[in-house]
Amino acid sequence: MSSEGLLNSAERLRAFERRGHDALARSYHEFFAAVTSLATEPLLDAVHLHPGTNLLDVASGPGALAAEAAKRGARAAGVDLSPRMVELAHQLHPGIEYREADVEHLPFLDHMFDAVVCAFGLGHFPQPELAVAECVRTLAPGGRIAFAWWDDPARQRIQGLFREAVAEIGVTVPKDVPQGHDVFRFSDSGEFLRLLNGAGLTAVSVTEHTASFFVPDTETLWRGGLGSLVLTGAVIRYQDQATQDLIRTAFEHRAKVYKSAHGLTLPIAFKIGSGQRST
């Protein structure tokens, strides 16, 4: 693809992500923020957070990660592409600065932060190499950076259940859903390491993490997923009712394996990629 084509593709994906997260900001907070919070501890550990750390949370969403860092004594700020997410973060955490910004154009000076963290934004960035380079630009010499991203859907079962059900039925993808972007590129540890090494970081590592997430029933999971997963949710909502019903049936069939008398316990798996800016 030409450079102009790549730029147009990136802008299309960026606009789609902004619209999608604007539309789902509240429902994302109510359901999926609890899933992404599973990475909070390892992310903050990876950047060696301590009282006084000047920290930036990129793709901050409803703001919980920056708020937790502030609770532990950091001077925290957050940025997100979605105006509605930023608005919600301000409502939920009024003492913290959140700004609307694109990760490729952060509104901060060079070397401004001791730590930069990002919980599950990486696979949504249209041009991840440029995004990481821009994050590193804001990092002070010796500062640390850490990104969380999902493992393969076979081990990350919320996304996995939805994607497998859609694939089983076979559907037409809506024209406004961008194609060709590999959202699970960094589920591969080798790709994750290459990205971080390519940004000139030192002490680079990728660690694997597993957890579980409980939901009371498949209805909660179905509605929560549709209200949180921007790309997959858009694909499902585009279908006619009969096709949506078929996807729902396939989804429930797959979810049965995680059922108990009390609800569903879903395996969650993600990776933390981290590194340090050279002094």
The tens digit of pLDDT for each residue in 232-255 reads 999 999 999 999 999 999 999 999
Q: Is the pLDDT of residue 1 over 60?
A: no
Give the pLDDT confidence score for residue 2 in this predicted structure.
Answer: 46
Q: Read off the pLDDT band of 181 (50, 70, 90).
A: confident
**What are the CA-CA distances from residue 123 to residues 13, 49, 83, 111, 192 (Å)?**
11, 24, 19, 25, 11
Q: Output the furthest CA–CA distance in the chain (Å, rounded).
A: 59
**Rounded Cα distance, 185 and 252, in Å:** 27
152 CB-near residues (< 8 Å, 6+ apart): 184, 187, 269
pLDDT tens for each residue of 93-117: 999 999 999 999 999 999 999 999 9
Domain hosting residue 44, numbered range: 3-276
Q: What is the pLDDT of residues 32-80, one digit of tens each?
A: 999 999 999 999 999 999 999 999 999 999 999 999 999 999 999 999 9
Q: Where are the alpha helices (DSSP H) in the chain?
A: 3-31, 33-36, 40-46, 64-71, 83-92, 128-137, 157-169, 189-198, 218-226, 230-238, 241-255
Summarised one tens digit per residue, pLDDT across range 115-166 is 999 999 999 999 999 999 999 999 999 999 999 999 999 999 999 999 999 9
The structural domain count of the chain equals: 1
| pLDDT tens digits for range 215-236 | 999 999 999 999 999 999 999 9
CATH number, residue 227: 3.40.50.150
Mean of all residue pLDDT scores within the chain: 95
